[in-house]
């Protein structure tokens, strides 16, 4: 029973770390935020599981692009006349502070119409991570953030290395915590 309790404590601890650090998602991965070649931001977003505490980062050439948060209506119609806010630095990190939809478009004429728009959907309750029942073994689960950190794209590009750092950090903590319980 003590073991089960320990495992529960460990899992909550990991969840806490996950929430306090979050994941940084670079929009478009190595392609960035661009109007080139009609990059499909919809399918990019569909492979992600965004959560409160994560950060959305837009990296782009600020001479030719910008970032606007808009309403659903204006997202649909690519209307950039009344944005909720505008970012123009070329490297904008936008933390997710609450659930809901974040509708971003590029306000440069024609770009949103060419597909430079993304809907960041953040579910109210994180979808329950299918956790296997606590294993009697003391070895830490190899993937504490399973179901959250996106599977590293096997193809090309450099997925934000910060994700790997976080994972490594979690494993490091998990090992430490397990060691404390074990002795």
Dihedral sign for Cα 49, 83, 109, 66, please.
negative
Distance CA 156, CA 22 (A): 23
| 148 forms part of the interface with Cu ion (CB under 5 A) | no
Number of residues forming the site for ligand NAG (CB under 6 A): 14
146 binds, among ligand NAG, Cu ion, none (CB under 5 to 8 A by kind): none
Buried b (16+ CB within 10 A) or exposed e, 82-115: ebeeebeebebebebeeeeebbbbbbbeebbebb
The span of 72-80, 121-129, 136-144, 152-160 binding ligand NAG (CB under 6 A) equals: 72-80
φ/ψ (deg, to 5) at 37? 50, 30
Contact letters (x/-) for Cu ion, 45-74, by CB under 5 A?
--------------------x---------
| 113 forms part of the interface with ligand NAG (CB under 6 A) | no
Q: Which of residues 123-182 bind ligand NAG (CB under 6 A)?
A: none
Distance CA 113, CA 121 (A): 20
Distance CA 34, CA 142 (A): 36
Q: C-alpha 144: how far from its chain's center?
A: 16
Q: Which residue among 74, 116, 145, 170 contacts Cu ion (CB under 5 A)?
A: 116
| 106 forms part of the interface with Cu ion (CB under 5 A) | yes
**Interface residues toward Cu ion, by CB under 5 A:** 35, 65, 106, 108, 111, 116
**Interface residues toward ligand NAG, by CB under 6 A:** 35-37, 59, 64, 74, 77, 79, 81-82, 91, 93, 108, 114
């Amino acid at each position: 029973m003590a073991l089960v309790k320990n495992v529960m404590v460990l899992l909550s601890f990991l969840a806490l770390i996950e929430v306090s650090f979050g994941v940084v998602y670079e929009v478009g991965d190595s392609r960035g935020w661009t109007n080139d070649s009609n990059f499909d931001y919809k399918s990019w977003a569909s492979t992600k599981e965004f959560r409160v505490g994560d950060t959305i980062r837009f990296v782009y050439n600020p001479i030719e692009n910008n970032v606007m948060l808009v309403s659903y209506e204006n997202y649909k119609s690519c209307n950039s006349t009344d944005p909720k806010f505008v970012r123009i630095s070329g490297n904008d990190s936008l933390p997710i502070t609450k659930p809901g939809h974040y509708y971003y478009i590029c306000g440069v004429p024609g770009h949103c119409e060419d597909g430079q728009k993304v809907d960041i959907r953040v579910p109210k309750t994180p979808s329950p991570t299918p956790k296997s029942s606590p294993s009697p073994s003391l070895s830490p689960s190899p993937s504490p953030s399973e179901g959250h950190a996106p599977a590293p794209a096997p193809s090309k590009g450099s997925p934000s290395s910060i994700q790997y750092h976080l994972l490594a950090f979690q494993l490091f903590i998990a090992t430490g915590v397990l060691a404390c319980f074990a002795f």
